Amino acid sequence: VNYYLQNIQTKAHLNAFVEVYKDTALEQAAIVDEKIKSGKAGKLAGLVVGIKDVLVLKDHEVNASSKILKGFKSQFTSTAVQRLINEDAIIIGRLNCDEFGMGSSNENSSHGKVLNAADESRVPGGSSGGSAVAVQANLCTVSLGTDTGGSVRQPAAFTGLVGIKPTYSRVSRWGLIAYASSFDTIGVFSTNVADNALVLEIMAGSDNFDSTASKKPVPPYSELLHFDKRAKIAFFTETIESEALQTEIKANTLAVLDKLKKEGHQVEEVHFPLLKYTLPTYYILTTAEASSNLSRFDGVKYGYRSPHAHNLESMYKMTRTEGFGEEVKRRIMLGTFVLSASYYDAYFTKAQKVRRLIKDFTEELLNKFDYIVMPTTPSTAFKFGEHSNDPVAMYLEDLFTVQASVSGVPALSLPNGVDKSGLPIGIQVMANSFKEAELYAFGNYLM
């Protein structure tokens, strides 16, 4: 803990941490030390973990990187974090992110931007940018992020880490501040597959506080990392031929597929004609869900309340006007629009139908193949400000990550070399729902 506290101090300019739990982390470390000596330590004894600023911890402030939650303290701890604590992990602090998880660059944060340690003029990715940089810069051993449409996988790719988006419902969402409830997942950042598997195995599983959390038993992922089968692997013409794809990412992805073929695996090129509909479907449905989820922040119950209001109506209005950032407001308006009576069928209902088509296609393909392999992102980490004035260009960053989110299947991003500027490249592997063990074993083999 002292080692990491020191690093956090020397790398403070990266802005990964928004709060360091120095005293409680040191206290916890002393307790765990005793437990280790008496042979009673849990499975994560001494593991130093950072958590994204959307996961609540009892008696600690949490902001979702939004001014609207300024000063808000939680009365309880999220299930995912509690399960890590129960196994003697040490929570060292709270990590910067895009406001309410909305963004791909960590530039939309009330705590300011996070710098990519590989090149400080570039974004770390988002929305879990702080969680990625905390592990990248050696400020904690592993970190928790959330992935609604790529927010663990894309920053993992931009920082050269392993990042998982588990199957939807695999990890309880109790104590996770909601963005889009039918997409939100809690994932893990680590430098290697084994750490990642161990943390997910502890967090996952049914929970009385979240009726959507799956009751399926959780396999011991960390003990199932040996890979010795001949795998059937699909890749999409539409991703590999995508105009948006950076040449070096294409080359490195093809090199992996080639290597797999040479090692005796069956690798097949498949068409995914629905690829162009995945982003619109994702952004229609997530903005709709966000507009509903974020209606609770009205100045009455949580955090910030405008001091300028003169009656109840203006208190709601001014609190939300002053409390939410630009991107969050844009999404609330988009979501309200697609849910409005005259446009509901044209946008929301239609997007739900397309979601079903994408999900069916993905699951059927993953019944025939063990894995789908593709780049995690179309480009490596971009410069600050590059997409700030063009939301659509920013949304395009999620081109390859949203398929798994729309379908609910798990996806793992792994480091796959660097581009000519030395920036990390990510490769993404998808498997069918609840096949995290298979995903980790294959990931371990690929690394």
Burial letters 170-195, b for 16+ CB under 10 A, else e: bbbbbbbbbbbebbbbbbbbbbebbb
Residue 147 interacts with ligand GLN (CB under 6 A): yes or no: yes
Give the chain's radius of gyration (CA, Å): 21
Residue 149 interacts with ligand GLN (CB under 6 A): yes or no: yes
| Both structure tokens of 82 | 């509690």
Catalytic residue among 65, 78, 127, 169: 127
Contacts of 80 (CB under 8 A, 6+ apart): 55, 144, 171, 172, 175, 176, 186, 203
The whole-angstrom separation of Cα 44 and Cα 141 is: 11
The answer to whether the CB of 100 falls within 8 A of the CB of 294 is yes
Among 167, 281, 286, 428, binds ligand GLN (CB under 6 A): 286
In whole angstroms, the minimum distance from the beta carbon of 95 to ligand GLN comes to 14
Cβ neighbours around 196 below 10 Å, total:
28
In whole angstroms, the minimum distance from the beta carbon of 184 to ligand GLN comes to 8
What sign does the dihedral 207-211-216-219 (CA atoms) show? negative
In whole angstroms, the minimum distance from the beta carbon of 445 to ligand GLN comes to 27
What sign does the dihedral 403-405-410-415 (CA atoms) show? positive
The whole-angstrom separation of Cα 49 and Cα 141 is: 6
What x/- string results for residues 364 through 403 when contact with ligand GLN is judged by CB under 6 A? ----------------------------------x-----
Cβ neighbours around 87 below 10 Å, total:
16
Residue 52 designated active-site: yes
Residue 103 interacts with ligand GLN (CB under 6 A): yes or no: yes
- Considering the complex, state which of residue 28 and residue 362 has its C-beta at the smaller distance from ligand GLN: 362
Cβ neighbours around 311 below 10 Å, total:
8
Among 104, 109, 214, 362, binds ligand GLN (CB under 6 A): 104
Catalytic residue among 131, 151, 172, 190: 151
Residue 130 interacts with ligand GLN (CB under 6 A): yes or no: no
What x/- string results for residues 19 through 58 when contact with ligand GLN is judged by CB under 6 A? ----------------------------------------
Catalytic residue among 11, 52, 165, 435: 52
Residue 148 interacts with ligand GLN (CB under 6 A): yes or no: yes
The answer to whether the CB of 422 falls within 8 A of the CB of 171 is no
- Considering the complex, state which of residue 4 and residue 100 has its C-beta at the smaller distance from ligand GLN: 100
The whole-angstrom separation of Cα 313 and Cα 303 is: 18
In whole angstroms, the minimum distance from the beta carbon of 107 to ligand GLN comes to 11
In whole angstroms, the minimum distance from the beta carbon of 148 to ligand GLN comes to 4
DSSP symbol at 424: E
- Considering the complex, state which of residue 84 and residue 152 has its C-beta at the smaller distance from ligand GLN: 152
Among 102, 162, 177, 249, binds ligand GLN (CB under 6 A): 102
Residue 179 interacts with ligand GLN (CB under 6 A): yes or no: yes
- Binding residues for ligand GLN, rule: CB under 6 A, are 101-104, 127, 146-151, 179, 286, 398
- By annotation, the residues acting in catalysis are 52, 127, 151
